[in-house]
């Protein structure tokens, strides 16, 4: 039978600054399955170094290591982790149990990284083997030293290793516990387990079957004390001795462990975590509040826009031509009326004028309208976007007669009459006396800022009596039905181009449909968004750096835990995943609170701007997606640092 452990000329040299230490000098050693070996020697003789090499926690600088019949010189880090996980049971002098974790969960830890999923039944069996069945639910701080070390032995057994490597397992224990632990190890060996323990205690090594003495990195004696009694020898347990492949991905039980660790770590540092996510909270919150408000606006705009608005087309001069003499005329109205798809064509004059009532004077916007026909009145909402009216609107007859009647909006009424009902009072527009026949609610968008004082009068009155000109401000056209608007718009453009040949290939008029208006609203929102996103971006950047900072702290604090996990078989990606998950969970918490904050802000804004915020599924997933991205990108470096830690150095970290 070939040896389980076969090392040839192993050397290990430590170079620390100015001096070099030959921790191992050409050590050769064979250990067979079922042996019970002690490595003895004074402090600094290289015992631990040798044990680490044997347990794949460290690589030798030179020499050969055959384990279970296979050469191990060229194995990747991932395969070494898999060997540590499945074939080696390591026991440390200072136990290295996870704090505030039950005995059972501590025992289960190597199983998390075995790639096979955890099995509580087996953990209980292992605890039974070390005589701790009744302590399974006790946390590590509720156990004595001897019990802790026996939990560690149970942990070493959980993945059915080929060998148990124990580095001064009794070093931290009193005499009674020492005997307990040695008894446990002896019993394991009697059942066929290969056990190698490092010690400098003669009493301990006297209980083993083979004593290897070391000094200054060399083996100076190898004493086999086993009486060759083949009848007593236990037949070695049949093992699969092929070296395991590297493991990829995470098992569900590992992901569960990672989330558990993440939540525990955040929960144990509540204040710190809360301060850390502040930046994310504000950043996500401001984006969410903007998004919900703008989404609410959009919903409002679209729901207020019935078929009537969807049918509308507005023809007006281009902004750049506003000041020029080019204005729309009645000839244009006639041209548009000739378009087959333009069903209703309403010329509109628009201007500013001084309005007076008694001693009060207000500058207001004056807008002409066509008078309502009896049919319009039935629809009521035709020209004023469904706004409520007190009194009445002017009629077609009044328009034709250039009647001096006006409808005013709330904003103007408030300025001129306060809370009094203005209907049937007289006001003066450019010193011409008019009768107020109706009061109309402010337009929805205007309610934002209290509305601009506005006054509506018949078209002919505005054209001939007030502005004294026939140039139109714009023309409102309705297509036969919403689906014709695009085609109707084309017809209008063609008709107008016949009258006004385009100059430099540019029309001086603008023809907009409702769709265009929506698009314009969106582009306005985008401009506002840009600003908010800027602020949110800075906040998120600061938040991200905060995350990175706290994750670095967390990695430093948990260096020994990381070392332990790696020693027990966690591979690089397991540690990377664990810290990334912690960063992401932290960011998601910030994002979740941010959504609450953003929606809350939007509802507060609702009190002032009367636009009900709308929280879409898209907005929520955006917030979560975004938070995750921040968590991953800012958590990556700290997680990478954790993942690249050397297990032995990490375990030694103070
Ligand atoms: P033992 O376990 O027998 O007490 P070690 O194997 O821990 O001894 O150490 C052997 C020698 O190697 C000692 O001289 C020690 O100082 C040195 N050594 C061990 N680890 C390191 C290290 N990480 N860096 C530098 N020197 C080390
Ligand atoms: Mg040591």
Ligand 1 neighbourhood includes 47 CB (under 6 angstroms): yes
User: How much is the average pLDDT of 177-205?
Assistant: 91
Winning range, highest mean pLDDT, from 305-314, 317-326, 372-381: 305-314
- The SS3 assignment for 609 reads helix
Torsions phi, psi of 109, nearest 5? Answer: -50, -50
Write down all domains in the chain, each with its CATH number in brackets. Answer: 5-87+161-248 (3.40.50.300), 261-301+520-652 (no CATH), 327-507 (no CATH)
- The SS3 assignment for 357 reads strand
The tokens describing 260, both together, are 């558990």
**Which is more confidently placed, 435 or 304?**
435
Q: How far is the CA of 166 from the centre of ligand 1 (A)?
A: 16
Q: How far is the CA of 47 from the centre of ligand 1 (A)?
A: 8
pLDDT band at 230 (very low <50, low <70, confident <90, very high): very low
Q: Are strands 36-40 and 405-409 parallel, antiparallel or unpaired?
A: unpaired
Going by alpha carbons, the residue nearest to atom 13 of ligand 1 is 44
Q: Decide if pLDDT at 384 tops 70.
A: no
Ligand 1 neighbourhood includes 615 CB (under 6 angstroms): no
Q: Could you say which ligand is closest to the alpha carbon of residue 24?
A: 1
Question: Per-residue DSSP letters for 23-83?
Answer: EEEEEEEEE-TT-EEEEE--TTSSHHHHHHHHTTSS--SEEEEEETTEE-TT--HHHHHHH
Q: Say if pTM beats, i.e. exceeds, 0.85.
A: no
User: How much is the average pLDDT of 367-383?
Assistant: 70
**Res 88: pLDDT:** 95
Q: Decide if pLDDT at 448 tops 80.
A: no
Ligand 1 neighbourhood includes 20 CB (under 6 angstroms): no
Q: Could you say which ligand is closest to the alpha carbon of residue 94?
A: 2
User: How much is the average pLDDT of 617-632?
Assistant: 87
User: Which residue among 14, 25, 171 is best mutated to probe the pocket of ligand 1, counting the most ligand atoms within 8 A of its Cβ?
Assistant: 14
Q: Decide if pLDDT at 590 tops 80.
A: yes
Residues 6+ apart with CB under 8 A from 340: 491
Ligand 1 neighbourhood includes 298 CB (under 6 angstroms): no
Q: Could you say which ligand is closest to the alpha carbon of residue 39?
A: 1
Q: Decide if pLDDT at 381 tops 50.
A: no
Ligand 1 neighbourhood includes 23 CB (under 6 angstroms): yes
Ligand 1 neighbourhood includes 17 CB (under 6 angstroms): no
- The SS3 assignment for 197 reads strand
Q: pLDDT by residue (tens digit) across 97-129? A: 998 899 999 999 999 999 888 899 999 999 998
Winning range, highest mean pLDDT, from 67-76, 249-258, 490-499, 553-562: 553-562
Ligand 1 neighbourhood includes 527 CB (under 6 angstroms): no
**Res 377: pLDDT:** 67
User: Which residue among 40, 44, 55 is best mutated to probe the pocket of ligand 1, counting the most ligand atoms within 8 A of its Cβ?
Assistant: 44
Going by alpha carbons, the residue nearest to atom 22 of ligand 1 is 14
- Cα dist. 134→123, 128, 528 in Å? 13, 9, 65
Q: How far is the CA of 52 from the centre of ligand 2 (A)?
A: 10
Q: How far is the CA of 47 from the centre of ligand 2 (A)?
A: 6
Q: Decide if pLDDT at 237 tops 70.
A: no
Going by alpha carbons, the residue nearest to atom 17 of ligand 1 is 23
pLDDT band at 382 (very low <50, low <70, confident <90, very high): very low
User: How buried is 202 (Cβ within 10 angstroms: 0-12 exposed, 13-18 middle, 19+ buried)?
Assistant: exposed
Q: How far is the CA of 67 from the centre of ligand 1 (A)?
A: 23
pLDDT band at 335 (very low <50, low <70, confident <90, very high): confident
Q: How far is the CA of 422 from the centre of ligand 1 (A)?
A: 97
Spatial contact of 356 and 427, defined as CB atoms under 8 Å apart = yes
Q: Decide if pLDDT at 598 tops 80.
A: yes
- Give the Cα separation of 177 and 172 in Å (integer): 9
Which atom of ligand 1 has the smallest separation from the CA of 214? 3
Ligand 1 neighbourhood includes 43 CB (under 6 angstroms): yes
Q: Which of 504, 412, 414 has its CA nearest to residue 453?
A: 412
- Give the Cα separation of 6 and 69 in Å (integer): 8
The tokens describing 210, both together, are 């083979």
Q: Decide if pLDDT at 144 tops 70.
A: yes
End-to-end CA separation in angstroms for the chain? 43
Q: Angle formed by the axes of helices 120-129 and 175-190, to 10°?
A: 110
Q: How far is the CA of 192 from the centre of ligand 2 (A)?
A: 26
Which atom of ligand 1 has the smallest separation from the CA of 168? 2
Q: pLDDT by residue (tens digit) across 484-535? A: 888 888 888 888 888 877 666 667 778 888 777 777 777 877 887 888 888 8
Ligand 1 neighbourhood includes 171 CB (under 6 angstroms): no
Q: How far is the CA of 400 from the centre of ligand 2 (A)?
A: 108
Q: Could you say which ligand is closest to the alpha carbon of residue 42?
A: 1
Alpha helices in 568-616 (DSSP H): 572-609
- Give the Cα separation of 436 and 408 in Å (integer): 7
User: How much is the average pLDDT of 380-395?
Assistant: 71
Q: Which of 149, 158, 210, 218 has its CA nearest to residue 185?
A: 149
- Of 97-106, 210-219, 263-272, 315-324, give the lowest mean pLDDT range: 315-324
Ligand 1 neighbourhood includes 199 CB (under 6 angstroms): no
Ligand 1 neighbourhood includes 648 CB (under 6 angstroms): no
Ligand 1 neighbourhood includes 49 CB (under 6 angstroms): yes
What percent of the chain has a predicted confidence (pLDDT) above 70?
A: 91
Ligand 1 neighbourhood includes 45 CB (under 6 angstroms): yes
User: How much is the average pLDDT of 221-230?
Assistant: 73
Going by alpha carbons, the residue nearest to atom 5 of ligand 1 is 46
Going by alpha carbons, the residue nearest to atom 7 of ligand 1 is 48
Q: How far is the CA of 224 from the centre of ligand 2 (A)?
A: 23
Q: Decide if pLDDT at 588 tops 90.
A: yes
User: Which residue among 22, 46, 205, 215 is best mutated to probe the pocket of ligand 1, counting the most ligand atoms within 8 A of its Cβ?
Assistant: 46
Ligand 1 neighbourhood includes 12 CB (under 6 angstroms): no
């Amino acid at each position: 039978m070939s040896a389980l452990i076969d090392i040839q000329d192993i050397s290990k040299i430590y170079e620390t600054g100015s001096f070099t230490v030959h921790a191992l000098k050409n050590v050769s050693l064979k250990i067979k399955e079922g042996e019970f070996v002690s490595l003895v020697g004074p402090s600094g003789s290289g015992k631990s170094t040798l044990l680490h090499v044997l347990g794949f926690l460290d690589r030798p600088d030179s020499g050969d290591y055959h384990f279970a019949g296979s050469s191990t010189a060229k194995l990747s880090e991932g395969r070494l982790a898999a060997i540590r996980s499945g074939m080696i049971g390591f026991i440390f002098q200072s136990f290295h149990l996870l704090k505030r974790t039950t005995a059972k969960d501590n025992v289960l830890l190597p199983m998390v990284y075995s790639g096979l999923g955890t099995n509580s039944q087996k953990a209980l069996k292992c605890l039974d083997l070390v005589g701790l069945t009744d302590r399974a639910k006790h946390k590590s701080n509720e156990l004595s030293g001897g019990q802790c070390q026996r939990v560690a032995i149970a942990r070493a057994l959980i993945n059915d290793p080929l060998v148990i490597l124990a580095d001064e397992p009794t070093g931290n224990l009193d005499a009674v516990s020492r005997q307990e632990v040695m008894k446990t190890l002896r019993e394991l060996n009697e059942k066929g387990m290969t056990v190698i323990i490092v010690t400098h205690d003669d009493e301990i090594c006297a209980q083993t079957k083979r004593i290897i003495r070391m000094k200054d990195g060399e083996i100076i004696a190898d004493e086999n004390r086993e009486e060759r009694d083949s009848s007593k020898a236990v037949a070695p347990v049949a093992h699969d001795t092929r070296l395991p492949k590297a493991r990829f991905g995470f098992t569900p039980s590992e992901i569960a462990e990672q989330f558990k660790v993440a939540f525990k770590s955040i929960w144990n540092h509540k204040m710190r975590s809360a301060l850390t996510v502040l930046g994310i909270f504000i950043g996500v919150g401001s984006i969410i509040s903007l998004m919900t408000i703008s989404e609410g606006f959009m919903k409002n705009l679209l729901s207020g826009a019935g078929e009537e608005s969807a049918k509308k087309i507005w023809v007006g001069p281009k902004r750049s031509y506003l000041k020029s003499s080019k204005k729309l005329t009645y000839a244009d109205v006639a041209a548009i009326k000739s378009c087959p798809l333009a069903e209703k064509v309403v010329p509109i004059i628009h201007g500013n004028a001084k309005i007076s009532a008694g001693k009060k004077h207000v500058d207001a916007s004056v807008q002409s309208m066509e008078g309502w026909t009896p049919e319009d009145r039935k629809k009521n909402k035709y020209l004023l976007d469904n706004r409520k009216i007190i009194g009445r609107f002017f009629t077609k007859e009044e328009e034709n007669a250039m009647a001096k009647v006006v409808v005013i909006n709330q904003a103007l009424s408030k300025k001129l009459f306060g809370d009094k009902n203005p209907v049937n009072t007289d006001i003066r527009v450019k010193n011409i006396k008019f009768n107020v026949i109706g009061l109309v609610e402010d337009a929805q968008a205007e309610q934002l800022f209290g509305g601009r004082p506005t006054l509506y009068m018949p078209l002919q009155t505005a054209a001939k009596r007030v502005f004294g000109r026939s140039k139109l401000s714009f023309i409102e056209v309705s297509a036969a039905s919403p689906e014709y608007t695009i085609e109707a718009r084309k017809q209008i453009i063609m008709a107008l181009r016949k009258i006004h040949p385009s100059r430099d290939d540019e029309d001086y008029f603008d023809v907009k449909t409702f769709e265009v208006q929506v698009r314009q609203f969106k582009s306005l929102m985008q401009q506002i968004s840009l600003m908010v996103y800027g602020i949110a971006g800075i906040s998120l950047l600061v938040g991200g750096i905060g995350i990175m900072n706290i994750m670095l702290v967390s990695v430093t604090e948990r260096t020994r835990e990381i070392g332990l996990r790696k020693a027990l078989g966690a591979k690089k990606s397991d540690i990377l995943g664990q810290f990334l998950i912690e960063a992401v969970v932290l960011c998601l918490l910030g994002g979740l609170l941010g959504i609450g904050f953003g929606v809350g802000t939007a509802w507060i804004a609702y009190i002032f701007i009367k636009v009900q915020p709308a929280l879409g599924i898209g907005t929520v997933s955006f917030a979560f997606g975004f938070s995750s991205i921040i968590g991953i990108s800012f958590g990556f470096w700290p997680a990478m640092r954790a993942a690249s830690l050397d297990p032995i150095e990490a375990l030694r970290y103070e």
